[in-house]
Amino acid sequence: MSGVTAVSGELGKAVIEGELVHRLTNWSINRQANESAWGDSDSGGFTNRKAARRDATGSIGGKLDEDDLQYNIFDDGDIVALVLWEDTTRYWVFPSALIQNFQLEFNPDTKEVVGWTADFGADGRYYKPGEAGAPVHSLPSS
């Protein structure tokens, strides 16, 4: 792994519908496997569990960019194509992600927009970095 990676934050990026999100400060992903739990005559009074549906949710945050307002790129209720880059070669692909909310934080004392966050959930299939069958993407330069 090179010295310049998403660990430093220098190359971590987010792309929504092919548009690079400017002034990004963070993104996160929470993957989970929902479970199916049951008891039956063979379980001896214990609970059986099997992995059921896989799911992922996450959030994106940043500073407001007056030249490229984030809420013009996406809004709550939108279903968007989302790519989250760890570095120039590793990325997560959400071909269909539901933007669940968009929050804008304003500080009246300083009269500035502090930042924004948006939560999303995978709408169907998603791909982790390097996963077979993942759509191929190129990181936009600007």
Which pLDDT tens digit goes with each residue over 8-37? Answer: 556 789 998 888 888 889 999 999 988 888
* pLDDT for 8: 56
Q: What's the pLDDT at 68?
A: 67
pTM over 0.85: no
pLDDT at 96: 96
Provide the pLDDT for residue 119. Answer: 95
Say if CB 118 and CB 82 are below 8 A apart. Answer: no
Domains of the chain in start order, with CATH, are: 13-122 (2.40.30)
Segments of the chain with pLDDT less than 50: 1, 5-6
